[in-house]
Structure 1
Amino acid sequence: MRKADSYTKNYQKLKQIAETMRDSDEPDIDGLVKMVGEATEAYKNCQARIEAVEKALGLNEK
Structure 2
Amino acid sequence: MTSTTSPTRKRKKSAPKTFKAAYNILKTNAAELQQQDEPDIDNLMSTVEESIAAYRVCETRINAIQQALDAAFAEEVPDNNGS
TM-score between both structures, scaled by the size of structure 2: 0.62
Q: For residue 53 of structure 2, what is the amino acid of its counterpart?
A: E
Q: How many residues align?
A: 57
**1:11 and 2:23 are equivalent in the alignment:** yes
Cα distance in 1, alignment partners of residues 55 and 62 from structure 2: 11
Q: What are the ranges of 5 or more consecutive residues in structure 1 without an aligned counterpart?
A: none
Q: What are the ranges of 5 or more consecutive residues in structure 2 without an aligned counterpart?
A: 1-15, 75-83
Q: Please tell me whether Structure 1 or Structure 2 has the larger radius of gyration of its CA atoms.
A: 2
Q: For residue 39 of structure 2, what is the amino acid of its counterpart?
A: P
Give the alignment of 1:9-48 within 5 angstroms: 9-48=21-60
What's the offset of the Cα at 1:56? 1.1
TM-score between both structures, scaled by the size of structure 1: 0.81
Q: The residue matched to 1:26 in structure 2 has which SS?
A: coil
Cα distance in 2, alignment partners of residues 17 and 44 from structure 1: 15
Q: The residue matched to 2:57 in structure 1 has which SS?
A: helix
Query: Identity across aligned pairs (percent)?
Result: 37
Runs of 4+ that moved beyond 2 A: none
